[in-house]
Amino acid sequence: MKKVYFIASLIIFITGCDMGGNSSYSKEETIPNPYTPLNQDELVNPASLNLIDDYESEKFDTIRYLSTLQEKVECIVNEMRALPIECSDSQNETGPANCIVWDDSLADAAKRETDTIASLDDESYESAEAKELASSSGYHGNYVVKTKVVFDYDSEDINKILTKIVEEALKGNEGSCSTLMDKKAEDLGLSFTTKVVDGKRRVYSTIFLGDSRE
């Protein structure tokens, strides 16, 4: 019965998020985030998150029953942005942050950047500034940031890969956590690809966030 209820109520789970007309979500039901501190003043250290282990044990598997990449990415990213996360990178961004929604133009920019770093197997490669890449994909926002993650991960399960991408970004020390938690952002695009390197499956992913409001 628990599973049936979970599927039926997973139309949306993000407390207080108005996803607007550009999202496939509608706000009807709330599912508790297991990482929400009991003490409202307590900050969450990203190093304490074990998203993959908890996904496999079904303690945290909210993306399992969503059908599209867009829904899955919005789901996992906004679950994390709803938490009082304290990033330990150079920008020291803290949550909770506002809800963000999928943007096809940012996703296209993310795909082009991801394909490039995967072909070169070089996470540090920068083809252009984030705003320039987003603009060339048709995004009209004046504020754009991006982050990249590359890691070895032996799974073809898209749910696990997306969960691991977000976990790696939050635990990164080069500004990736603060980028993911950026309160100026309203839009989101993510892309990933995989290939075998030295006998191991390697995941390459780029995440773009932006603000296209007038």
Among the ranges given (94-98, 106-110, 160-164), the one the predictor scored with the smallest mean pLDDT: 94-98
Helix (H) or strand (E) holding 85: none
The domains located in the chain, with CATH, are: 2-81 (no CATH), 101-211 (3.40.33.10)
DSSP class of 38: S
Whether 175 and 86 have beta carbons less than 8 Å apart is answered as no
Beta strands 101-102 and 200-211 are unpaired
pLDDT one-digit tens code per residue, 4-23: 323 333 333 334 344 444 44
Torsions phi, psi for 169 (to 5 deg): -65, -45
**How far is it, in rounded angstroms, from Cα 30 to Cα 41?**
22
Q: Which of 8-12, 109-113, 121-125 has the highest mean pLDDT?
A: 109-113
**Average pLDDT of the segment spanning 31-57:** 82
Cis peptide, bond prior to residue 84, ω within 30 of zero? no
Q: Which of 7-21, 73-87, 124-138 has the highest mean pLDDT?
A: 73-87
Residue 132, token pair as written in the block: 């320039």
Q: Is the pLDDT of residue 181 over 60?
A: yes
**How far is it, in rounded angstroms, from Cα 148 to Cα 171?**
12
pLDDT category of residue 40 using cuts at 50, 70 and 90: low
Q: Is the pLDDT of residue 1 over 60?
A: no
**How far is it, in rounded angstroms, from Cα 25 to Cα 211?**
20
Q: Which residue has the higher pLDDT, 172 or 138?
A: 138
pLDDT category of residue 27 using cuts at 50, 70 and 90: very low
Residue 53, token pair as written in the block: 């282990």
pLDDT of residue 35: 80
**How far is it, in rounded angstroms, from Cα 76 to Cα 84?**
15
Whether 5 and 44 have beta carbons less than 8 Å apart is answered as no
